[in-house]
Amino acid sequence: MNPDRRVSVKVSQAKKLSDEDIDRIVELLKAVFKDDPFDAMLVGGDLSLQPLQIRSTVEAAAIAGIVHIASAPSLSQDADNQKDGTTNPGQLVGVALSFGPGQALNATMEQRAAGWDAFLGVIPESLRSWWDDYYGPLVSTGAKEAFGHDYRDRALKLSLFGVLPDHRGMGVGKALFLAIEDEAKQGRCPIVLQTQTETNVKIYTKLGFETKKATVVESSFGCSDFWFMEKRLRSGSSGRAPDA
Ligand SMILES: CC(C)(COP(=O)(O)OP(=O)(O)OC[C@H]1O[C@@H](n2cnc3c(N)ncnc32)[C@H](O)[C@@H]1OP(=O)(O)O)[C@@H](O)C(=O)NCCC(=O)NCCS
C-alpha cells in the first residue's frame, strides 16, 4: 500500500443495529457492489433485486453475525481538515460481516425470515432454482472440501467485505480485517472466505490467506472464477488449524 494514500480510519464492532444502521450499511454495500459482475449473477441479471439480496445478508448478520464498520473522513473533508486543523466525525466507508464458529449465514429460520425469505419471494423460479439446486450446493460442497466438513462449527466465516470505491487501497480494508482477526484470535479459529476476482485473491493473499480450492461458477448471466481461501492463525499465538 502506498503510505501517501493511507487514510485515518476508525473501526468498531456494531453490537446492536437499529433499522437506520441497517439502512446505512445496505446503502454502503450497494455502492460497493454497484458494478460487480458477480453480484449481477447473484440476482439473475436484475439489478433491481440487488438491494433485497444485500439487505438479507445484513439482516442475517445483525441477528447472528459479527458486524464491523469502518469510518473515515470524507476525502474532501480530509483535505480541508489538513488546512484548518479541525476534525470531523467521518463517514461510513467500509463494512465487514462475518459469522463466528457455530453460526452461519441464513442458517436459522429467524435469519431467513429477516430478509432471505423476502428475496426468495420475489425472484423468478429460474433464479430460485439456480440458488437452490446449483449455487448453494456448489458453495456448500466446495467449502467442505476446501476447509473441512465441520468448518462451519470451527471457523470464522467472512461473508461480506467491502470498502467504498473511492476509499479503496488506503488501508480501510486492512483495518477492518485486523479487527476480524482479533475476533478469530479470541475464538482461536481460522478465518475462511470465498471470493471471485484475481485482484481480491491478491489482496487476501497480502492479508495472509491461502487458496484452498478454485472453481468456476456459471449462470445464464455470466460466469466467474471462484476461490475458497483460508487464513490459519499461527499456533502458539492464536488460532488452531482445522483437521481438514
Ligand atoms: C477487497 C476490499 C474490501 C479491500 O479493501 P481496501 O481498503 O481496498 O484494502 P487495503 O487498502 O486495506 O489493502 C489491503 C492490502 O491489499 C493490497 N491491495 C489493495 N488493493 C490492491 C490491488 N488492487 N491489487 C493488489 N493489492 C492490493 C494493499 O497493498 C494491502 O496490502 P499491504 O498492507 O501489504 O500493503 C476492497 O478492495 C473492496 O471493497 N473491493 C470490492 C468489494 C469486494 O470485492 N469485496 C470482497 C468480496 S469477497
Taking the CA of residue 174 as reference, the ligand 1 atom at the shortest distance is: 12
Q: Which helix (H) or strand (E) holds 119?
A: helix 117-122
Backbone dihedral angles phi then psi of residue 158, each to the nearest 5 degrees: -85, 105
Pick the closest to residue 9 from 17, 1, 21 (CA basis): 1
- Give pLDDT, residue 235: 57
Q: Please tell me the distance from the alpha carbon of residue 77 to that of residue 138, in angstroms, as a whole number.
A: 44
Taking the CA of residue 172 as reference, the ligand 1 atom at the shortest distance is: 7
DSSP characters over 225-242: EEEEEEEPPPTTTS----
Backbone dihedral angles phi then psi of residue 105, each to the nearest 5 degrees: -60, 125
- 98-155: per-residue pLDDT in tens? 999 999 999 999 999 999 999 999 999 999 999 999 999 999 999 999 999 999 999 9
Check pocket membership of 204 for ligand 1, CB cut-off 6 A: no
Q: Please tell me the distance from the alpha carbon of residue 166 to that of residue 168, in angstroms, as a whole number.
A: 6
Q: How many residues does the chain have?
A: 244
DSSP characters over 11-80: EEE--S--HHHHHHHHHHHHHHTTT-HHHHHHTTT-GGGHHHHHHHHHHHHHHHSEEEEEEE--HHHHHH
Residue to substitute in 35, 199, 203 for testing ligand 1 pocket (most ligand atoms within 8 angstroms of CB): 203
Q: How far is the CA of 133 from the centre of ligand 1 (A)?
A: 32
DSSP characters over 139-156: HHHHHHHHH-TTHHHHSE
Check pocket membership of 8 for ligand 1, CB cut-off 6 A: no
Taking the CA of residue 194 as reference, the ligand 1 atom at the shortest distance is: 48
Taking the CA of residue 203 as reference, the ligand 1 atom at the shortest distance is: 16
Check pocket membership of 106 for ligand 1, CB cut-off 6 A: no
Check pocket membership of 67 for ligand 1, CB cut-off 6 A: no
**Three cell numbers written together for 157:** 466465516
What is the residue extent of each domain of the chain? 3-231
- CATH architecture of structural domain 3-231: 3-Layer(aba) Sandwich (3.40)
Q: How far is the CA of 204 from the centre of ligand 1 (A)?
A: 7
Check pocket membership of 227 for ligand 1, CB cut-off 6 A: no
**Three cell numbers written together for 133:** 439446486
Q: Whose CA is nearest to atom 22 of ligand 1?
A: 199
Per-residue pLDDT of the chain (244 residues; tens, 9 = 90+): 666 678 889 999 998 999 999 999 999 999 999 999 999 999 999 999 999 999 999 999 999 999 999 999 877 655 445 455 444 568 999 999 999 999 999 999 999 999 999 999 999 999 999 999 999 999 999 999 999 999 999 999 999 999 999 999 999 999 999 999 999 999 999 999 999 999 999 999 999 999 999 999 999 999 999 999 999 987 544 444 443 3
